[in-house]
Structure 1
Amino acid sequence: MKLPVDELRDDILALNLSWVLADNIVCSNLSLDQMNDIDNTIVFITEASNQPASWANAKIGRWQITLEVQIFWSINADVNIQLAEVDLMKQLLEKGWLIQQSGSHTTDPDTQQITKTIYVTKNQAI
């Protein structure tokens, strides 16, 4: 079984998004170059929670996984950021991910880079 972050990365890669390179969809650890990259959009996926979701007859019935998806937009993004994010969330819903939270955009005061944080959840039978 794949780790949840790898499963979501595979789901996002399958979408063939025009606004992010495959190498810039990253799980768990960003390289120093990626941390400082404001010229390319980076999608950073980390695990937020991984816990039992339901019980039946004193046994775990389902497992809930919540992942944090941070999008660090290129300062020269050639896309409507809002529409791209909404489209991503719609497509993730179709792949079985529930959008738990879509945070507000923030702008780095030094670089002017826009970031977005989205939390997605999936319940899995075990």
Structure 2
Amino acid sequence: MLAVRQAQKLIKQANISGIDDVYAFNLPLSITDNVDSTVILITDANTTPEIWASNDFHGLKREVEIQVFYKQDFDVDPEVIESKLYRLFVDNDWDLGENRGHTYDPDTNQITTSFYVYNLKITGGN
């Protein structure tokens, strides 16, 4: 399963309070102007061959970007949601990468954040 789909499934199954929906690869046009829901967008960030032996790789380091778009009047503290997301990924054998911090969108008055998670998928040799 693609890393993006795996991450999406993980978040959806966790049913974290304050997250209204989770999308993979792109946001539907109907969601782009919605400021009344907290949504997550997961996209591919990087895939690198790993575990080299006998001139062949035996794993893929898969990195995804998690972008959270908080609704304007959020009722759950963003740091609570983010901590639950971090713990969810760590508890499921993902590693935490860079966090881009919070930004404010002056057009929609929304707070957003982006962070990266990655895992190692063992593929075997040729």
TM-score (ref. length: structure 2): 0.92
Looking at secondary structure, tell me which structure has more helix per residue.
1
Looking at secondary structure, tell me which structure has more strand per residue.
2
Show the counterpart of 1:111: 108
User: Do residues 19 (structure 1) and 3 (structure 2) align?
Assistant: no
Letter in 2 for 1:6: R
Aligned length: 123
Letter in 2 for 1:56: A
Structure 1 residue 54 displacement after superposition? 2.4
- C-alpha separation in 2, matches of 1:53 and 1:34: 37
Show the counterpart of 1:10: 9
Show the counterpart of 2:32: 35
TM-score (ref. length: structure 1): 0.92
Structure 1 residue 3 displacement after superposition? 1.5
Structure 1 residue 49 displacement after superposition? 0.8
Structure 1 residue runs of 5 or longer lacking an equivalent are none
Percent of aligned pairs with the same amino acid: 28
Structure 2 residue runs of 5 or longer lacking an equivalent are none
Report the secondary structure of 2:101's partner residue: coil
Letter in 2 for 1:98: D
User: Does the CA-based 8 Å contact 2:16-2:84 persist in structure 1?
Assistant: no
Measured against aligned partners, the alpha-carbon deviations of 1:16-46 in whole angstroms (never above 9, x if no partner) come to 111112xx20000211121111110110000
